[in-house]
Structure 1
Amino acid sequence: MSSRDVLKNASTLASYNVLLQVMFRVLTFLLNAFTLRFVSKELIGVVNVRLTLLYSTLVFLSREAFRRACLSGDTGGKHNWRQHVNLLWMTLPLGVTWGVLLACVWLRLLEVPDPRTLPFYGPAVVLFALAGVQELLAEPLWVLAQAHMFVRLKVVAESLAMLAKCIVTVVLVVSAREWGLYIFSAAHLVYTGVLVLCYAGYFLRFLGSEEASKRDFPLRSVGDLLPHKASGEPLVDWSVARLTWSFFKQSFLKQILTEGERYVMTFLNVLSFGEQGVYDVVNNLGSMVARFVFLPIEESFYVFFAKVLQRGRPVQSQRKEDVAVAAEVLECLLKLVLVIGLVIAVFGYAYSGLALDIYGGSLLSSGAGPSLLRCYSCYVLLLAVNGVSECFVFAAMSQEEVDKYNVVMLALSASFLLLSYLLTWWAGGVGFILANCLNMALRISHSILYIHRYFLPSPWKPLQGLLPSPLLCVALAASTAVTVVSEGVLCCDGGWLLRLVHVGVGAVCLVFVLLAVLLAESRLVAFVRTQLLPQYGKKHT
């Protein structure tokens, strides 16, 4: 498969993933707005911070390293998928081990909520851990689907799973509110169960079919999906296993950086359960765009860079066509996420208070809520740049470079935890976001230096994507001034009419910014149209 074909598939995958994440965020947005009217903020804090942290830690540490290692490789198609499947099944016993260890920590070492106000905490911990282990049953299938660009499978499976979770949550919140934590435990088990069933059902139908033959799919029967040793070859590819171990050491540190504030809240008790609930709702609202736009782009184009570039080889020894495509894509991706991040930072500042008031009422719009969301709007810009830059770096690094970077990640993790603890005592929840910003800036600096050194012997300069055009800078600066003045004059105590006028002012400014993008960033517009919107592009070819 040529690099252009890989780019086309990765772009399609990114487009579907963005649409999927948009749907997820909208459903979660509506679900949280609904549950805020029926349950306490303390319950929201325990579920969304402590129990969700248990689940995400278990799943991330059990599978992230395997995903990155098994999706890496060159364009020669030399993967031995039987050996990869054997390796991927190691996620299940690893998940069981992590589940037992983490459940013991959550039950024995952490502060237990008052059973009179938050009953069923113990069973909920066990059920959330069980949900994580259940999801790992689909891990070999997920990696196969991702590597072979089964884009619709992921969309359908995760859509059905999320829909089932929302239905269970709404029904139980309305009809059995006294179940408390059982409601969210049951909903999460349903989510992971539906996910596994969708992937299993698809591959049961797909393997051995005519479509599989046309795709030249490397596995022929259901038995090939189960761990087994083929004659004359090792059980696993040990080079991939060693790469997995390198990523595994890194994944532990990356998880601390990704979920650091939740670890600090959970283990150091710097915020009450109620304050954790408010912070988490604001955090989810602020990270909505980061999750449904930036994360799918990062996941999809990591696959692209890993397939186009040969890991660990300098740019001079790569195919020129592949390097040219990779550089062009990286530059456009950096420019895309930079523009989106700047727009969010500009308009997020002036519309945070209004957004929280509409979403959760005075529970969110009073107190520290608006300040949290304003800070998060700026943090999103750093998230955007870091996601794309690290996406390239991790695909291009050799195993030795990955191991060296683990030391950097260790230092970042330690500094982040210390900064989070100190800044939280000083500034409350805002301190978490400030600590995240500082650490994200350091990670971006490392990635930029690596990219600069990587492309230095070549004529390509993809880091130019981090330079917005002068016209766009003027448009953003003017929009910032106008919307801040509009907020001070019109929002948010003057009634709904003035609020609507404030929204209208923002809409006009946004149109002004988009026009600046269309006029001054024509290369970016062409990239979005032809690569990230492939279905739209097909209609015009």
Structure 2
Amino acid sequence: MTSQDILNHATKLASYNVLIQVVFRVQTFVLNAFTLRYISKEVIGVVNVRLTLLYTTVVFLAREAFRRACLSGSNERNWTQVINLLWITVPLGVVCSLLLSWIWLQLLEVPDPRRIPHYEIGVMAFGLSAVVELLAEPFWVVAQAHLFIKLKVIAESVSATVRSILTVVSVVLFPQWGLYIFAFVQLVYTGVLVLCYVIYFTKFLKSPESQKKSFPFSRLTDFLPKFPKNQPALDWKLSLLTWSFFKQSFLKQVLTEGERYVMTFLNVLNFGDQGVYDVVNNLGSLVARFLFLPIEESFYIFFVKVLERGKSAKQQPQEDVNMAAAVLESLIKLALLMGLTITIFGYAFSQLALDIYGGSVLSSGSGPSLLRCYCVYVLLLAINGVTECFTFAVMSKEEVDRYNFVMLALSLTFLSLSYFLISVLGSVGFILANCLNMGLRISHSIYYIYRYFRDSIHRPLEGLRLSPSLILVYIFSAVVTTFSEVVFCCDKGWLYRLIHIFIGALCFLAVFTTIFFTETKLISFAKTRLFPRYLKKDT
């Protein structure tokens, strides 16, 4: 498969992943607004912060390192050894689930059972659901490695839709059940997710397409662990790489979900405030999650397939380096433009968005300030996602090990800053600590990219530069929309709100037009390399 073919598949994968995230985030967005009218904000806080943190921690620790390691390299690999390695995620998940569930029940503050009953059931259900989801890991990795780009969309969309429907029906009919509802729905969600993968591969392995593609599996039992007689059960080189990523996984999880750990373990906010923070956080990350995360996941696969891990740019085939550098520069530029646009317009429309979404409960107090800070964080999140995507794809095992110490320092710094800033600034302190942490991570990735391409003709970091005219338009839009918010929003009626929205739309049109005429390299790259085969059927 050529570099261009891999790029075409990665582009499609990113697009489909964006679709998944749109479905997820819109469903969460609507679901939160709906459930707030039936379930107390304390229950929302326990579910969306405490229990979801348990679930995501178990899943991330048990599978993240295995995913990164097993997706590295080409398709020419010993799949029996890869499958054996991937099944280690299940017992590892069981251990993590039991240990963390005990901590959640015995060491953390237990909610008042009169206001939030059935907490123990919730903890056990969310811990079990994490283990259930890990059963799909061999199928997920095989699908990603062979670029089955539609499978993830189908599986996750179906399971998310089932979860949303069950939640809405249960909350309306049985609001008194409280955490029972979310525990049951979470188990159904992961069960449907695994079932979708099993059904898909059961049908695919019986199809002529499986033989046509020389698929390395012939029956469903090939996805189970085996112990071959004439070779080791595990690829030890791959296992060592997994171990390197595993040591990094916990640190990355702390950096990713740091504010939830601080809220959970240090009790700096009560459950009601945690619920409000989570709602605002979900609203602020709506665009970031369904745009930036899919791009990062999809193009990580592109980079690990095009470039060989641990080799410098000079040691790689120059055609592949040319392609990778062009893609990286364009992705950096795209992330920068999307992040700046969200930051500028999000800042001026934060109060209006919160007022429409949750009324005065969210739009008054610290809600708007929290969302404005989050808009700045989105810009850093966008750039970091792309730069770390490339960095982790080309790092050698030794570099990954060294970076673990950097992650440890960042984790300790972030947790200390979070605790200090929240005691001074409240929940806004979480966002500021995240911004500083993200800035440090970006600095490391940028330095790594600079060193990687230093001896080549490529300068992908040029993607961080903007034309003077575009900078002026951004500044003009920021000033005009901020002034418009002060004059027309948000307590003067819908007519004034519509005027504010209209002014914002005009400024957005000016920004988009300027991007089209000034960022010609990005536009040209999108036309010539990203989209020529965009609508063609997968081969």
Post-superposition shift, 1:209? 2.6
Q: What residue is the counterpart of 1:47 in the other structure? A: 47
Q: What residue is the counterpart of 1:192 in the other structure? A: 190
SS in 2 for 1:388: helix
Correspondence for 1:385 among 383, 386, 394: 383
Post-superposition shift, 1:538? 5.7
Contact 1:529 1:537 in 2 (8 A): no
**Distance (Å, rounded) in 2 between the aligned partners of 1:186 and 1:464:** 50
**Distance (Å, rounded) in 2 between the aligned partners of 1:534 and 1:423:** 49
**Distance (Å, rounded) in 2 between the aligned partners of 1:48 and 1:482:** 36
Q: Which amino acid aligns with 1:31?
A: L
Please give the residue correspondences for 1:93-492 in structure 2 after superposition, counting only pairs within 5 Å: 93-492=91-490
Q: Which amino acid aligns with 2:7?
A: L
Correspondence for 1:84 among 78, 82, 85: 82
Q: Which amino acid aligns with 1:180?
A: G
Q: What residue is the counterpart of 1:66 in the other structure? A: 66
Post-superposition shift, 1:533? 5.1
Deviations 1:73-116 (A, max 9, x none): 1x4x3211111011000100000000100000000000000000
Deviations 1:131-185 (A, max 9, x none): 1111001000001111111111111111100000000100010000000011111
Q: Which amino acid aligns with 1:393?
A: T
Contact 1:529 1:536 in 2 (8 A): no
SS in 2 for 1:358: helix
- TM-score, normalised to structure 2, is 0.98
Post-superposition shift, 1:536? 5.8
Q: Tell me the number of residue pairs that the alignment of Structure 1 and Structure 2 aligns.
A: 537
Deviations 1:474-502 (A, max 9, x none): 11111001000100000001101100110
Contact 1:11 1:534 in 2 (8 A): no
Listed as ranges, the gaps of 5+ residues in structure 2 are none
Post-superposition shift, 1:188? 1.1
**Distance (Å, rounded) in 1 between the aligned partners of 2:532 and 2:142:** 22
SS in 2 for 1:235: coil
Q: Which amino acid aligns with 1:25?
A: R
Q: CA RMSD in A?
A: 1.2
Q: Which moved more, 1:475-484 or 1:212-221?
A: 212-221
**Distance (Å, rounded) in 1 between the aligned partners of 2:523 and 2:245:** 35
Q: Which amino acid aligns with 2:72?
A: S
Post-superposition shift, 1:537? 6.3
Contact 1:475 1:512 in 2 (8 A): yes
Q: Which amino acid aligns with 2:413?
A: S
Deviations 1:283-334 (A, max 9, x none): 1110111110000000000000001111001111110001000000000000
Listed as ranges, the gaps of 5+ residues in structure 1 are none
**Distance (Å, rounded) in 2 between the aligned partners of 1:445 and 1:40:** 41
**Distance (Å, rounded) in 2 between the aligned partners of 1:106 and 1:528:** 47
Post-superposition shift, 1:410? 0.3
SS in 2 for 1:485: helix
**Distance (Å, rounded) in 2 between the aligned partners of 1:252 and 1:135:** 19
Post-superposition shift, 1:232? 1.4
**Distance (Å, rounded) in 1 between the aligned partners of 2:534 and 2:93:** 41
Contact 1:15 1:533 in 2 (8 A): no
Contact 1:14 1:532 in 2 (8 A): no
Deviations 1:421-447 (A, max 9, x none): 000001000000000000100000000
Contact 2:12 2:534 in 1 (8 A): no
**Distance (Å, rounded) in 2 between the aligned partners of 1:475 and 1:46:** 43
**Distance (Å, rounded) in 1 between the aligned partners of 2:418 and 2:351:** 24
Post-superposition shift, 1:221? 1.6
**Distance (Å, rounded) in 2 between the aligned partners of 1:196 and 1:534:** 34
Q: Which amino acid aligns with 1:60?
A: F
**Distance (Å, rounded) in 2 between the aligned partners of 1:377 and 1:295:** 16
Deviations 1:164-223 (A, max 9, x none): 000010001000000001111111111111100000001111124311112221112212
Contact 1:12 1:532 in 2 (8 A): no
**Distance (Å, rounded) in 1 between the aligned partners of 2:199 and 2:535:** 32
Q: Which amino acid aligns with 1:108?
A: Q
**Distance (Å, rounded) in 2 between the aligned partners of 1:533 and 1:403:** 37
Q: Which amino acid aligns with 2:404?
A: N
SS in 1 for 2:136: helix
**1:38 aligned to 2:76?**
no
Deviations 1:495-532 (A, max 9, x none): 01100110011011000000011000122123344555
Change (3 A) 1:368 1:531: farther
Q: Which amino acid aligns with 1:54?
A: L
**Distance (Å, rounded) in 2 between the aligned partners of 1:13 and 1:531:** 15
**Distance (Å, rounded) in 2 between the aligned partners of 1:525 and 1:134:** 43
- TM-score, normalised to structure 1, is 0.98
